[in-house]
Amino acid sequence: MHSSLQQSGEQRQVLLLAVLVGISFFAGLGSAPLFDVDEGAFSEATREMIASGNYLTTYLNGHPRFDKPVLIYWFQVLSVKTFGLNEFAFRFPSAAASAIWAAALYRFTRMELGRETAFPATLFMVLSLQVTIIAKAAIADGLLNCCLAVTMFAVYTHYRTGSPASRYLAFAAAGLGVLTKGPVAILIPGAVSFLFFMQQGELKKWLKTVLNLRAILLFLAIVMPWYTLEYLDQGMAFVEGFLFKHNVNRFSSSLEGHSGSLFYYFPVLLIGLMPFTGMLFTILFNLKKLLSEPLNRYLLIWFAFVFVFFSLSGTKLPHYMIYGYTPLFILMARLFAEVKKPRILVLWPVFFLLLFAALPLLIPVAAARIDDLYILAVLDSALRLTGTDHSLLLAGAALLIAALQFVPAFSPRSRLVAGGLVFCLCINFHIMPLAARLLQEPVKEAALLSKSRGYKVVMWKVYYPSFLLYSHSFAEKRAPEKGEIVLTTVKYLERLENPELLYSKHGIVLVKNNEMRPRP
């Protein structure tokens, strides 16, 4: 009888998690235009792959794109051929990979710590801000995080049990990760496992694990066919573009617009883990206790390596920190019972929602200190899009999250679930669609206009790969000549002699350059 009740309780938990995955990762997947630069670039490269029939080398705007390996593009191709050329299809592989990531997290945590820890750990992952955003994004990171999580879980399982199947799973998942985003998929597992085994005084065991011939052959069988064919097709251009520019150089120097200080990832953590940021401090306060167990040490080394490595890297992007979130979710779940005042966990997400609710008051203050015409145009549009309904919605959501913490019938964990769900709904169905409407809707509309009228467009001082996708055309990035159609922003209109306005919205303009070359 007791076993039957336990099984029934677990089934309810798994069903609830499946519903939350559906809401967080899949609901509204195709409702917003693709975001530039990354979503637009990945999706346009996939469109060009389908149009050309070349499924080996990715191209963007007619030129080879060596940013990432090929696996995510193949999955996007399959999705587009299944669902059509639309936003849902481009984003579906990321959502599906993130769902597998969540399932792997639940399974591993349940095996190691039991379902009472597995449920909140997976809940933290599914409803956290950065994960719900990345899971809906048509880029490689949802798939990479899935591969990394499976690799890292399999490594620890092999360490604890010696299971050959776990070792092969780790090497296979790492191979798929290398096909998704390159060397980082072996750097993190390799470095973390080395540090952990060394700390455990078992380096011989580590060497025996990583030098297993069959596992290495499995890894090479997954990785080498595409890398070999790509090198034969593109030669040193592939080596220089992919290996050096987009991997080695990303650590040693900063790509344009992606630099930051050593403290860059501190605010990323505080925002990205919402609405569960407060649990991060619970981990810090209980470090000594956590370090007493091997699994906790493994998880802490995993997070610490990611945090330190990317803090030292010359190129910094917010989503790099997600590579170290999975161990944090497990540690948070282990320590949830240690939180003496769980109600205070909602203070940060409540403040965040109230801050967004106050945008109609904050935007005029910000605009008074800015002289960039494009930013002013965006702020003016944002002011018109964030009226009374916007403020009431987010303020009401914040108050609801706070009120849920005082419902006597709810356990602390139930309050956490309810508050996290309200926060997730606000992000996925109001804040992100608002951002898409403000920043990307004009690009899509200008592209569709260009497509319908057969315009050949020059991008000047801007770069919107999604424009290429929606217009089904290429566009040169340069200063326009007389008579050419130009996609730019209001910031640069005054540099054109006599522009004929064809489209304008939220600071994005499509114009015909009727006179001479634009002034510098």
pLDDT greater than 80 at residue 520: no
Mean pLDDT of 190-199: 96
- For 419-434, what is the mean pLDDT? 94
Pairing of strands 508-513, 485-489: antiparallel
Q: What is the pLDDT of residues 235-287, one digit of tens each?
A: 887 777 676 565 665 565 555 555 566 788 999 999 999 999 989 988 998 99
pLDDT in tens, 467-506: 999 999 999 999 898 889 999 999 998 888 888 999 999 9
The stretches of 53-128 forming alpha helices (DSSP H) are 71-83, 87-113, 115-127
What pTM, to 2 d.p., does this model score?
0.92
Q: What is the dihedral of CA 511, 515, 517, 520, to 10 degrees?
A: -80
Predicted pLDDT at 12: 86
Element (H, E) at 520: none
Q: ∠ at Cα 344 (341, 348), nearest 5°?
A: 155
Q: Considering only CA atoms, which of 110, 176, 120, 106 is closest in space to residue 148?
A: 176
Q: Which residues pair with 504 in a beta bridge?
A: 509
Order the strands of the 476-477 sheet from edge to edge.
Answer: 476-477, 457-459, 485-489, 508-513, 499-505
Q: Give the list of residues 6+ apart from residue 425 with CB closer than 8 angstroms, or none.
A: 23, 397
Per-residue pLDDT averaged across 345-369, rounded? 92
What 3 state SS string does 321-390 have? HHHHHHHHHHHHHHHHHHCCCHHHHHHHHHHHHHHHHCHHHHHHHHHCCCCCHHHHHHHHHHHHHCCHHH
Q: Does 27 score more than 70 pLDDT?
A: yes
Q: Which residues pair with 458 in a beta bridge?
A: 476, 486
